[in-house]
């Protein structure tokens, strides 16, 4: 560092659904790479606090805030909470990266899908991503990053997942449009599409040994994914070296059904 110059402030990432699963793994991966974290939780306060404690043990700062991404009417108040957290914990007005990770599973045959279940998946995965990003953009630093979460199911098809797959496809299209619209602010926007990951998502369906064996047989790398497989890709997209990557879909499936 040259004499008289100030060190760059520690980058801050905001991760929705950061109390467990992919969000937890991502929060810890970012802390390992020198980033501070604001993470959100919906019902798992104790889990979220445990992640905060783990991040602080790594020498980084972290704050956990409650948020239901399916309730867009709460986003303005949440943005105020983020603003207050930035001021109180970091004495700053902006954070650097947003990871729209929070989500829910949803399975039903197309012919049996109710309007209520359809609306819930749209609210959480698409409307939530759309309007939360909109509300938080004034708090994001220019030159920042956004990573949206899609799914391999936006490419390959499974019966019973018509709504889930469709809303993830919508997130992928939104990502490309945001990459264009936010280009003047030098905000890179990308989407990560995991395949089957060994977490408790969707009731822990991917922890079933029979399903794991089936998925592994169709995966060139020969296994189901682990949370760290996805977290590492997200961390890569938030790293300084990938600032010229935007509007891209990065699939993290081990090559499933190529």
Tell me which DSSP letter residue 2 carries: -
Q: What is the pLDDT of residue 1?
A: 43
Q: Say how far apart CA 32 and CA 228 lie, in whole Å.
A: 12
Owner of token pair 């783990």: 54
Partners of 97 in beta bridges: 13, 145
Per-residue pLDDT, averaged over 218-230, amounts to 94
Return the CATH superfamily for domain 12-251. NAD(P)-binding Rossmann-like Domain (3.40.50.720)
Q: What is the pLDDT of residue 200?
A: 73
Per-residue pLDDT, averaged over 212-219, amounts to 91
Question: Is 80 exceeded by the pLDDT of residue 211?
Answer: yes
Rounded (10°) CA dihedral 221, 227, 230, 233: -110
Q: Say how far apart CA 107 and CA 219 lie, in whole Å.
A: 22
Q: Say how far apart CA 150 and CA 153 lie, in whole Å.
A: 8
147-170 pLDDT, tens digit each? 999 999 999 998 999 999 999 999
Q: Is the pTM of this model over 0.75?
A: yes
- The tokens for 230 are 């996805």
* 256 catalytic per annotation: no
Q: Phi and psi (nearest 5°) for 192?
A: -110, 135
Tell me which DSSP letter residue 224 carries: -
Per-residue pLDDT, averaged over 187-196, amounts to 96
Q: Which residues, in sequence order, are CB contacts of 74 under 8 Å at separation 6+? A: 67, 68
Per-residue pLDDT, averaged over 214-227, amounts to 93
Report the chain's mean pLDDT, rounded to a whole number: 94
Question: Is 60 exceeded by the pLDDT of residue 2?
Answer: no
Q: Which of 107, 156, 164, 256 is catalytic?
A: 164
Q: Say how far apart CA 41 and CA 66 lie, in whole Å.
A: 5
Question: Is 70 exceeded by the pLDDT of residue 5?
Answer: no
Q: What is the pLDDT of residue 210?
A: 86
Percentage with pLDDT > 70 across the chain: 97
Q: Say how far apart CA 130 and CA 153 lie, in whole Å.
A: 20
């Amino acid at each position: 560092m040259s004499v008289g110059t100030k060190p760059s402030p520690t980058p801050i990432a905001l991760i929705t659904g950061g109390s467990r699963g992919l969000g937890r793994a991502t929060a810890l991966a970012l802390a390992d790479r020198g980033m501070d974290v604001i993470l959100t939780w919906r019902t798992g306060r104790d889990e979220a606090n445990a992640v905060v404690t783990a991040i602080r043990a790594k020498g980084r700062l972290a704050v956990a805030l409650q948020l239901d991404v399916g309730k867009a009417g709460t986003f303005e108040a949440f943005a105020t909470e983020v603003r207050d957290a930035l001021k109180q914990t970091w004495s700053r007005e902006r954070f650097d990266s947003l990871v729209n990770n929070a989500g829910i599973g949803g399975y039903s045959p197309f012919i049996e899908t109710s309007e209520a279940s359809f609306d819930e998946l749209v609210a959480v995965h698409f409307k939530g991503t759309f309007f939360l990003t909109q509300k938080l953009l004034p708090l994001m630093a220019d030159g920042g990053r956004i990573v949206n979460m899609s799914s391999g199911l936006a490419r390959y098809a499974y019966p019973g997942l018509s709504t889930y797959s469709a809303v993830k496809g919508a997130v992928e299209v939104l990502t490309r449009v945001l990459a264009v619209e936010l280009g003047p602010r030098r905000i890179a926007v990308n989407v990560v599409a995991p395949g089957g990951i060994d977490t408790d998502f969707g009731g822990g369906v991917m922890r079933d040994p029979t399903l794991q064996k089936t998925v592994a047989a169709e995966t060139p790398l020969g296994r189901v994914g682990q949370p760290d497989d996805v977290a590492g890709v997200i961390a890569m997209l938030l790293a300084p070296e990938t600032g010229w990557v935007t509007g891209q879909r990065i699939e993290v499936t081990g090559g499933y059904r190529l």
